[in-house]
Amino acid sequence: MQYLRFRRPIAGLTLGLMLISGSLSYAYEDYPYDSGADSYEHGRSARSRDRYDSYDPSQSPSANAPQPSSGYGTPFGLNKSTAGAIAGALLGAGGGAIIGSHRGNAGPGAAIGAGVGALGGYLVGHQIEGRDQALDTQEQVITRQRQEIARNRALLEELKRRNLDARETDRGVVVNLPDVLFEFNRARLTAEAQSKVAHIATVLEQQARDRRVSVEGHADAIGSESYNLALSQQRAEAVAQELRGEGLREARLTTRGYGKKYPVAPNTNPDGSDNPAGRAKNRRVEVVIEN
């Protein structure tokens, strides 16, 4: 008998849950999701380190996408958890009262329907709210990536305008100072090298004042490992010292010598013979303007 007594109120609250779940799910499906986000991220990771040459922010799949905001689709500024609970309570109470009234149980039906409807509405609203927040976070990440690419593009254009050998990598913008800018087997900069470092310092001051700079020396495979490591460190320090002299703060600078560890060209030919052109490319100092 107890089961029969509450059968209709329970049916009412079930109806309320169905109504609130359906209405909130519909509201979520109408959310302006940025379908280009995943393809944008995938495309970014696949670009070459010189991807700025072909990048056009206006062509980004997300460039004109609607911007999500917290509280989207909720009345009176309520979050979706609260709105769901209120709507669930109203629908559950209404459904419970209507069905319960057929057996004279409108009051209990409305009470049970309101309570369980509120709980169900809150849970559904909370789930949707979490998804909205995830979309907001994703959009913020994409916006930062877009801004980073735009900044690096402007930085590269200015460096190249000053006849500097620069490229973009995953770490940031890299300016290459080749071996010819140093005295033979020494760490002293030539006059040309000093001029180039002065240009780098000017660009850093004008367009990248908030970014750290890593000065990294490299060598070829000729000579002992300890000698090449020491020479690469000394050359990196010579460039860093020149940057300090141009006004760059010490706190922004890091110097490293890697010796022959990171070649950019083969030191020998396929037949094992010496490759002077390749070795010359490996003898270098790189100024990394970090992201």
Q: What was the pLDDT predicted at 20? A: 52
Check whether 26 has a pLDDT greater than 50.
Answer: no
Burial class (CB in 10 A: 0-12, 13-18, 19+), 277: exposed
CA distance 37 to 62: 6
Q: What is the mean pLDDT of residues 162-170?
A: 95
| Percentage with pLDDT > 90 across the chain | 47
Q: Provide the pLDDT for residue 228.
A: 96
Least Cα distance to 189 among 176, 175, 178 occurs for 178
Domain containing residue 202: CATH number:
3.30.1330.60
Contact 148, 51 (CB under 8 A): no
Picking from 119, 147, 175, the residue at the C-terminal end of a domain is 147
More confident residue, 137 or 279: 279
**Average pLDDT estimate for 78-82:** 62
76 dihedral zone (left: phi>0; alpha: psi -120 to 50; beta): left
Same domain, 10 and 54: yes
Confirm whether pTM is higher than 0.85: no
pLDDT value at position 118?
58
Domain span at 60: 2-147
Q: Region 273-282: what's the mean pLDDT?
A: 95
Number of helices and strands in the chain (H, E):
7, 5
Residue 153 maps to a domain: no
In this prediction, residue 236 carries a pLDDT of 98
Last residue within a domain, chosen from 121, 147, 173: 147
Q: What is the mean pLDDT of residues 250-264?
A: 96
Give the integer Cα–Cα distance in Å for 158 and 248: 18
Q: Which residues sit opposite 290 in a β-bridge?
A: 172
Q: Is residue 152 part of a domain?
A: no
User: If you average pLDDT over residues 260-270, what whole number do you get?
Assistant: 96
Residue 223 neighbours by CB under 8 Å, 6+ apart: none
Together in a domain, 185 and 140: no
- Average pLDDT score over residue span 53-82: 49
My answer on whether 178 and 136 are in the same domain is no
Give domain status of residue 156, yes or no: no
Q: At residue 207, what is the residue type?
A: Q
Calpha distance 6→54 (Å, rounded)? 68
8 in any annotated domain: yes
- Rounded to an integer, what distance in angstroms lies between the CA atom of residue 119 and that of residue 125? 10
